[in-house]
Structure 1
Amino acid sequence: MNNILVVMNQYVYPPNDGGKLGIYYRLKCLSTKFNMHLVIFNTENVNVENDDFRWAKNVMVVPRLKKPRYMCNSSELIKQFISWGISRMPRQSYILNSNDVRRKIKAYIIENNINIVLLETPFSYVAVDFCFLKKRNIRLVTVFHNVENIYFQETSSWPRWLSCFEKKRIEALEKIVLKNSSMSICVSPYDAEWYKSTFGIKNIKYLPSVLPQTSKTWKNSKTQYIIFFSQLSFPPNYYGLIWFLENVFSKYSDKYPDVKLKITGRISNDRERIIKKYNKNIEMTGFLKDNDFKALLENALFSIVPVKHGSGVKIKLLEALSCGMPSITTKHCYDGIRFDAVKGKEPFAVADNADDFLKYMYDFTENSCIRERMSANGYDFYIKTYGSQDNIDNWTKNIFGEENT
């Protein structure tokens, strides 16, 4: 069995959000195919338990290397800013950079006969020595969860001049990592196409995230609410919701005044006040415990995912499909979760504009047969695309290398 060393820039246990779940579950599944060795940078300083990754052969946890900005005094902030500025690294790589850690990883690779290194983000490249890997003929595979420079640009709250500076650094990093990787894997088809066309990279492929098989729990009930569940601290989610409220929901409420829009998750007081001003039929649930959240999902008429910006896969859409909930989303979301289906077999509704979005909402509200069909299609698509053994086998083949299988 091949020995694979996985380098992660975050501690993904417990897998309590979509991104962590995708990484944790995929690695757990792949541990049946490889001897899995993990190097985890504990950048969030979470509590670590010995059995969090019991399926791995060994786990090396690297304590937080740089003090977070909110814990620094003025002098420390200035010193760290200068150090980062002259490092030529994006900040997400800078906080992982350590000669001592690189030496330990190099020694670990030799001692344990590692023949594949998997980077769970391009920012983790600072943990390995490209020349050393090539000299030992070690295969390097990098997973891209977003087009990182675009993701940063669309989510950054930094001053504009500093954001532009950092975006260029991230883009340069992506190009270096792509060129030095034996294989790069994107979890979004749009992202793979962007990298190919922008950098002329050929050794890159789209593979769907590996996610757990689930039960179809959504009920086609006659409840009077639809749902939007997402982190509104994430700018693309917040601005997508504002677009929906301004262009779609007011017209929908005029026709269906008894149907509420329930919005889940924590949100700042300022943003909550702004959202509530749009319509009296908006209900903010706040943070919900797991059982309450699942009950809310199971009984909603349908979900909306009106995101129009941001790279990567929209995890909330996958969560809706995984329980069989009918969903309406945008062309932008479709670019991250594409399907090839004949009319009547679509797993979710894709709206090109506000009028299309509104029409789908009318259809879903009025016709329980449409909701039931979309529920079945969406759940079947999720299981076959993300929760299948074929998907796990494709990941195995591309990590190991098709030429070696």
Structure 2
Amino acid sequence: MKILIICHKLPYPPKEGGSMAMNMVIEGLINEGHDVKVFALETNKFKLSKDIPKEYKQKTKLETLYVNIGFDPLLAIRSFASNTSYHIRHFHKEEIFNRIEKVLNAETYDIIHFESIFLMSFLDRIKKLSKAKIVVRTHNVEHQIWSEIADSSSNILKRSYLKQVSNSLQKSEVEILNKADQIISISSEDTKKLKQLGVKTLIETIGFGIDVNAETDVSFSNLSIGFIGALNWIPNDEALKWFLESVWPKLSNKFPDLIIEIAGRECPKWLKNYRVQNLNVIGEVESSKDFILKHPIFIAPIKSGSGIKIKVLEALALGRLVICSSKAIEGIPAIHKKHLIIANTVSEYIDAIQFIIENPEKIQAITKNAQDLISQHFNPLKLSKKLSEIFHHLISE
């Protein structure tokens, strides 16, 4: 089967959640024996690495196009005035369509698979160029992030603006998804939400696949906390501000030897300049796996967003104890104190650290249970096979 995968950002290197999710699909479909070509945007935020292996370029037939997608204030004003989605219009550039047209004129594909909705504003024109079935993989319910951020804002003007951003994106999101032949949702929660919004296209849920590393020993005698994620992603920024301002002062006061390290790309200025006891902000790292393995505890205090938190899955698979919010485990069938520890408040974080110190044997059992959970529900080979079967069924209709 010939499959064209269209990505609104680079899938390689697979360091942050979005690129890891894209790369899992790409590698999985290739391993299933499909003829895959990847077209991806290179942007000012995600630049093409000079270190992409030659083998990867060959097997993915990777083709990229550089576009500048920096914030456009004039487009934002026009979008607000016309009640249209800035996020969709932001990617609606003729140079992008022209390259997609060139790719489609060069080859005939059975499936055109979009990683997210953001390049699907060209869909009507693409359908005139190709008879391929249209599949879209949703990493998030995109408008939900903005709705939740708006709800948490105390600034009336900001809240009003963000609500309009969310509402216009929701309208576009539903319209676009209803034009596809198949939707692949990354979590069961997102599948339910999309159906509730009025999406009629058939939806299948396929999560993120990750291998469990069974040889990752961990000691809880010297405690340290790690956080890694895209630091320019608003839910991460929001979560870290809350944690450092509300939780960390009380945690570090009660547990003075406790250390926290924060890693991730695009570190904001406020975080670079943040100075508190036992905090180390190290920015982008070469390997998220190596960073997570440095710390026995991984936190995810996320308060907004949808989809599935891939760094949480990675930490669980690596045998780390995850302390996270209820929001952070959406899409992960984990149970409090069986697979991880759920903490939504300052006192719950303090209780969690105390529990770890007092119950080392129980903590070891929790991390083992978590790895078993990942093996059962997030096996990459099983998920890739399921996706391949969906594609075969789709083109046989």
TM-score (norm 2): 0.81
Matched, 1:191 2:190: yes
2:63 is matched with 60
1:59 and 1:252, CA in 2 relative to 1: closer, same or farther beyond 3 A? closer
Which whole-Å CA distance do the structure 2 matches of 1:267 and 1:104 have between them? 32
8 A contact 2:10–2:41 mirrored in 1:
yes
1:264 and 1:11, CA in 2 relative to 1: closer, same or farther beyond 3 A? closer
1:38 and 1:360, CA in 2 relative to 1: closer, same or farther beyond 3 A? same
8 A contact 1:141–1:183 mirrored in 2:
yes
2:42 is matched with 42
Which whole-Å CA distance do the structure 2 matches of 1:97 and 1:202 have between them? 23
Matched, 1:283 2:279: yes
Identity rate of aligned residues, in percent?
A: 19
Which whole-Å CA distance do the structure 1 matches of 2:138 and 2:38 have between them? 18
Which whole-Å CA distance do the structure 1 matches of 2:275 and 2:393 have between them? 49
Residue 257 of structure 1, CA deviation: 3.1
Give secondary structure in 2 for the equivalent of 1:359: helix
Residue 141 of structure 1, CA deviation: 0.8
Q: How does 1:252-267 map to 2 (within 5 A)?
A: 252-265=251-264, 267=267
Q: Deviations over 1:361-387 (max 9, x none)?
A: 222122221221122122232333334
How much is the aligned-residue C-alpha RMSD, in angstroms? 3.6
1:375 and 1:96, CA in 2 relative to 1: closer, same or farther beyond 3 A? same
Residue 60 of structure 1, CA deviation: 3.5
Residue 142 of structure 1, CA deviation: 0.6
1:349 is matched with 341
Which whole-Å CA distance do the structure 1 matches of 2:356 and 2:372 have between them? 19
8 A contact 1:178–1:184 mirrored in 2:
yes
TM-score (norm 1): 0.80
1:304 is matched with 299
1:274 and 1:153, CA in 2 relative to 1: closer, same or farther beyond 3 A? farther
Give secondary structure in 1 for the equivalent of 2:109: coil
Unaligned segments of structure 2, at least 5 residues: none
8 A contact 2:85–2:168 mirrored in 1:
yes
Q: Deviations over 1:296-355 (max 9, x none)?
A: 53343322222222222223212211311111111111223234x6x87x3222236544
1:285 and 1:271, CA in 2 relative to 1: closer, same or farther beyond 3 A? closer
2:137 is matched with 143
1:74 is matched with none
Q: Which one of the candidate residues 397, 400, 403 is aligned to 2:392?
A: 400
Which whole-Å CA distance do the structure 2 matches of 1:139 and 1:25 have between them? 21
8 A contact 2:87–2:169 mirrored in 1:
no
1:388 is matched with 380
8 A contact 2:302–2:328 mirrored in 1:
yes
Which whole-Å CA distance do the structure 1 matches of 2:345 and 2:316 have between them? 22
Give secondary structure in 1 for the equivalent of 2:13: coil
1:31 is matched with 30
8 A contact 2:230–2:236 mirrored in 1:
yes
AA in 1 matched with 2:299 = I
Report which stretch shifted further, 253-262 or 299-308. 253-262
Matched, 1:365 2:361: no
1:328 is matched with 323
Which whole-Å CA distance do the structure 2 matches of 1:48 and 1:275 have between them? 32
8 A contact 2:183–2:201 mirrored in 1:
no
1:127 and 1:260, CA in 2 relative to 1: closer, same or farther beyond 3 A? same
Which whole-Å CA distance do the structure 1 matches of 2:236 and 2:149 have between them? 10
1:234 and 1:110, CA in 2 relative to 1: closer, same or farther beyond 3 A? closer
Which whole-Å CA distance do the structure 2 matches of 1:63 and 1:258 have between them? 46
1:89 and 1:218, CA in 2 relative to 1: closer, same or farther beyond 3 A? farther
Which whole-Å CA distance do the structure 1 matches of 2:343 and 2:48 have between them? 43
2:176 is matched with 177
AA in 2 matched with 1:399 = F
Which whole-Å CA distance do the structure 2 matches of 1:238 and 1:205 have between them? 31
8 A contact 2:134–2:182 mirrored in 1:
yes
Which whole-Å CA distance do the structure 1 matches of 2:304 and 2:89 have between them? 27
Which whole-Å CA distance do the structure 2 matches of 1:271 and 1:326 have between them? 24
Report which stretch shifted further, 192-201 or 103-112. 103-112
8 A contact 2:16–2:230 mirrored in 1:
no
Which of these two proteins has the greater Rg computed from alpha carbons? 1
Which whole-Å CA distance do the structure 2 matches of 1:82 and 1:357 have between them? 41
Which whole-Å CA distance do the structure 2 matches of 1:39 and 1:264 have between them? 29
AA in 2 matched with 1:42 = E
AA in 2 matched with 1:184 = I
Aligned length: 386
1:85 and 1:399, CA in 2 relative to 1: closer, same or farther beyond 3 A? farther
1:229 and 1:397, CA in 2 relative to 1: closer, same or farther beyond 3 A? same
